[in-house]
Homo-oligomer: A and B are copies of this chain.
Amino acid sequence: MDSKLLKGLLEKVRNGEATVGDTLKRLRDLPYENLDFARVDHHRAHRTRIPEVVFAANKKVSEVAAIAHSMHRTSGRFLITRATEEMHAAIGIQGAEFFPDACIIACGMPKRFAGSVLVMTAGTSDIPVAEEASLTLQFLGSKTERLYDAGVAGLHRVLDQKERFSAARVFIVVAGMEGALPSVVGGMTDKPVIAVPTSVGYGTSFGGLTALFAMLNSCVPGLAVVNIDNGFGAGCLAHRINTKR
């Protein structure tokens, strides 16, 4: 709702130019009347504690650069996922760093981090998705620990991590192929476990669907599952949980 309009309405009531009854009727429709576009965006970021993030896939280099500059002017910081080296060069803002493994460009990383999220992968091919999650967490202000290439084919690599498990407040477990690692981890901890299926695999991996469905069917109750390759979403969820008041 436009503040000026609303202010005008109230002033009319105060000045007796409008009756309470008429204004009452008018205000009942307020949810549908005009609001300033930019302010709404600010509200949303405030409400959800996830600032706007640029999803660069399918966007032109020039578009991404323009958005980055706009965000930099407003807030001094930005996060771009599914980005390329070329986009980083085109942006040309000092302090904007490109992370090739995660395909992320970040600017204005915080200095202090809360709690700790343990980010695990089953294989080395799952690392880009895990890095997307890790850097998202860092950008949002959560501390992350990495434990990569700990698949179920060699269980010792998981079983001997008891101390790191105790230290973590939330888990993100990234796995492609049969997607079994979240079940194993979920059976070993009482912390929230976020399972991230990846498109790693071929044939009946169906671009990650098999891992996704396996995770949704885990014999361990209560895994949180996100979309395929959605490291960013997992990071947002883990941050919400990690910093829950």
Which of B13, B35, B165 lies in contact with A156, CB distance below 8 A? B35
Cα distance A102–B225 when bound, in Å? 23
Residue of A151, A157, A232, A240 contacting most chain B CB atoms (<10 Å):
A240
Contact status A154-B40, CB under 8 Å: yes
Task: Give per-residue flags for A164-202: 1 if the beta carbon is below 8 A from chain B beta carbons, else 0.
Answer: 010001100000011110011011111111100001111
List, sorted by A's number, 13 A–B pairs whose CB atoms are closer than 8 Å. Answer: A40-B156, A48-B188, A58-B125, A155-B155, A155-B184, A170-B244, A203-B230, A204-B213, A204-B216, A211-B214, A214-B214, A224-B224, A225-B226
Task: Decide if A44 is an interface residue (CB 8 Å cutoff).
Answer: yes
Q: Given A219-B123, A232-B221, A233-B222 in contact, is the A14-B11 Cβ separation under 8 Å? A: no
Contact status B28-A1, CB under 8 Å: yes
Instruction: Output the nearest chain B residue to A82 by Cβ-Cβ distance.
Output: B202
Task: Give per-residue flags for A70-91: 1 if the beta carbon is below 8 A from chain B beta carbons, else 0.
Answer: 0000000000000000000000
Contact status B34-A160, CB under 8 Å: yes
Contact status B227-A191, CB under 8 Å: no
Instruction: Output the nearest chain B residue to A212 by Cβ-Cβ distance.
Output: B204
Instruction: Output the nearest chain B residue to A245 by Cβ-Cβ distance.
Output: B169
Which A1-18 residues sit within 8 Å CB-CB of chain B?
A: 1, 3, 6-7, 10-11, 13-14, 16
Cα distance A160–B40 when bound, in Å? 11
Instruction: Give me 13 other A-B pairs in contact (C-beta within 8 A), A50-B221, A178-B219 excluded.
Output: A1-B160, A30-B30, A32-B165, A37-B157, A41-B154, A152-B187, A179-B214, A180-B214, A204-B216, A212-B216, A222-B240, A223-B233, A241-B241
The total of chain A residues at the interface (CB under 8 A) is 109
Residues of B near A43 (CB, < 8 A) are 154, 156
Instruction: Output the nearest chain B residue to A187 by Cβ-Cβ distance.
Output: B153
Which of B157, B161, B179, B233 lies in contact with A178, CB distance below 8 A? B179
Cα distance A53–B44 when bound, in Å? 35
Residues of B near A207 (CB, < 8 A) are 203
Cα distance A162–B32 when bound, in Å? 5
Residues of B near A245 (CB, < 8 A) are 169
Task: Decide if A112 is an interface residue (CB 8 Å cutoff).
Answer: no
Contact status A229-B203, CB under 8 Å: yes
